[in-house]
Amino acid sequence: MVKIVFVCKTFTADKQKWTYLDKDGDQSLSYEEFRKFLRPEDQNDLRKIEINSIIKEYDEDNDGKVSSDEYLKMTGKYIKNRRS
């Protein structure tokens, strides 16, 4: 069940980045757009989208922050699921 939630949240973040980069709305990314999609940390606007999506993913109590417990719980689940 956690894998499905993780994939859905990842898809949501990717969809936001894709939509942002797909300026002409043709549902395709050029080489340069796709490079930016794969490396969001290199672009200020994409970095914000990426960070906000990660916060939403980890922030279980919806307080807009990631507590150490939320971070450890999420990373622990992710590592555990990767092993199975």
Per domain, the residue ranges of the chain are 2-83
CATH number for the segment(s) 2-83: 1.10.238
What's the rounded Cα separation, in Å, for the pair 70 and 66?
6
More confident residue, 70 or 79: 70
**What percent of the chain has pLDDT above 70?**
77
What's the rounded Cα separation, in Å, for the pair 12 and 22?
15
The band of 2, judged by pLDDT with boundaries at 50, 70 and 90, is: very low
Determine the 3-state secondary structure of 39 from DSSP.
Answer: coil
Tell how many helices (H) and how many strands (E) occur in the chain.
4, 0
